[in-house]
């Protein structure tokens, strides 16, 4: 029986940074499911289609083969054999991913891929619906969050470090818009699973948040 840890929460809560570091410490595989939704958005946008339009997106699913591959424990996302890992981290793709993720056929399309990885490996999987829908029987469930201002602050610094020059107000507005989209869509909306532990990292340094997350996982394992 493999150990499955589900980490859900809103955009910019530090899920990927923390889940990745915790996985390394525990010797687990880290699975970033947002990257899968982003890879669909990437393909759809490249084709000139509207990520929010089910009518335009659904027919394209037949042409998309998303894959997760791991090199030295690091996740790479491939679309039809192309490594798109670096290309899917832009504000346009973030919003596009939020758009395609509200389409039921897209969620269904990615469901089996996520289930299969979890069945075969000890994993920490992060996303929006992992504890509620994808892995309802995960041994450990965490709902990771922080205030929207703290999350916008972190995202702003991250984008600046990557050499992008965003406006802080836009980053905050984007976070709020994505929270709204992710929490209010009809299918698999973001919410804390009943049996998930709430971890609010607004007042934590990265190291403090990581230690809280790792202790929590060890306690429940
Ligand atoms: O975690 P992220 O920012 O990379 O996710 C991008 C978008 O994908 C996010 O706005 C909502 C969607 N998503 C989802 O609906 N379900 C998941 N399990 C992961 C991401």
Q: Which of 7, 31, 33 to mutate to test the pocket of ligand 1 (most atoms within 8 A of CB)?
A: 33
d(CA 126, CA 124): 7
Q: Quote the ligand 1 centre to 8 CA distance (angstroms).
A: 10
User: Counting beta carbons within 10 angstroms of the beta carbon of residue 221, is it exposed (0 to 12), middle (13 to 18) or buried (19 or more)?
Assistant: exposed
pLDDT number for residue 141: 97
188 CA: nearest ligand 1 atom: 15
Question: Which residue's alpha carbon is at the smallest distance from atom 3 of ligand 1?
Answer: 11
Q: Quote the ligand 1 centre to 17 CA distance (angstroms).
A: 15
- Is the Cβ atom of 179 under 6 angstroms away from ligand 1? no
Q: Quote the ligand 1 centre to 10 CA distance (angstroms).
A: 9
Q: What is the pLDDT of residues 154-195, one digit of tens each?
A: 999 988 998 888 899 999 999 999 999 999 999 999 999 999
Q: Quote the ligand 1 centre to 96 CA distance (angstroms).
A: 10
Q: Quote the ligand 1 centre to 7 CA distance (angstroms).
A: 12
pLDDT number for residue 164: 84
pLDDT number for residue 217: 93
Q: Which pTM was predicted?
A: 0.92
Which H, E and C letters describe the chain, residue by residue? Answer: CCCEEEEECCCCCCHHHHHHHHHHHHCCEEEECHHHHHHHHHHHHHCCCCCCCHHHHHHHHHHCCEEEEEECCEEEEEECCEECCCCCCCHHHHHHHHHHCCCHHHHHHHHHHHHHHHHHCCEEEEECCHHHHHCCCCCEEEEEECCHHHHHHHHHHHHHHCCCCCCHHHHHHHHHHHHHHHHHCCCCCCCCCCCCEEEECCCCCHHHHHHHHHHHHHHHC
pLDDT number for residue 162: 86
pLDDT number for residue 166: 87
Q: Quote the ligand 1 centre to 19 CA distance (angstroms).
A: 15
CB contact at 8 A, 33 and 151: no
Q: Which of 15, 34, 88, 135 to mutate to test the pocket of ligand 1 (most atoms within 8 A of CB)?
A: 34
Question: Which residue's alpha carbon is at the smallest distance from atom 20 of ligand 1?
Answer: 34
Across the chain, which has 221 residues, the per-10-residue mean pLDDT values are 95 92 95 97 98 98 96 91 95 94 96 96 96 97 96 92 90 94 92 96 94 93 80
pLDDT number for residue 60: 98
């Amino acid at each position: 029986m493999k150990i499955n840890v589900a980490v859900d929460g809103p955009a910019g809560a530090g899920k990927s940074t923390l889940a990745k570091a915790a996985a390394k410490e525990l010797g687990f595989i880290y699975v970033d499911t947002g990257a899968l939704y982003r890879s669909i958005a990437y393909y759809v946008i490249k084709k000139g289609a509207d990520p929010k339009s089910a009518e335009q997106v659904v027919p394209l699913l037949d042409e998309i083969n998303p894959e997760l591959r791991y090199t030295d424990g690091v996740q790479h996302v491939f679309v039809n054999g192309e490594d798109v890992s670096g290309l899917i981290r832009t504000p346009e793709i973030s919003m596009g991913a939020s758009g395609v993720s509200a389409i039921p056929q897209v969620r269904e399309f990615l469901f089996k891929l996520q289930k299969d990885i979890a069945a075969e490996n000890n994993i920490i999987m992060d996303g929006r619906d992992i504890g509620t829908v994808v892995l309802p029987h995960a041994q450990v469930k965490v709902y990771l969050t922080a205030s929207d201002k703290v999350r916008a602050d972190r995202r702003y610094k991250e984008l600046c470090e990557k050499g992008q020059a965003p406006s802080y107000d836009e980053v905050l507005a984007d976070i709020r818009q994505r929270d709204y989209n992710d929490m209010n869509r009809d299918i698999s909306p973001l919410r804390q699973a009943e049996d998930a532990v709430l971890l609010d990292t607004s007042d934590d340094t990265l190291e403090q948040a990581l230690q809280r997350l790792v202790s929590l996982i060890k306690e429940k394992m």
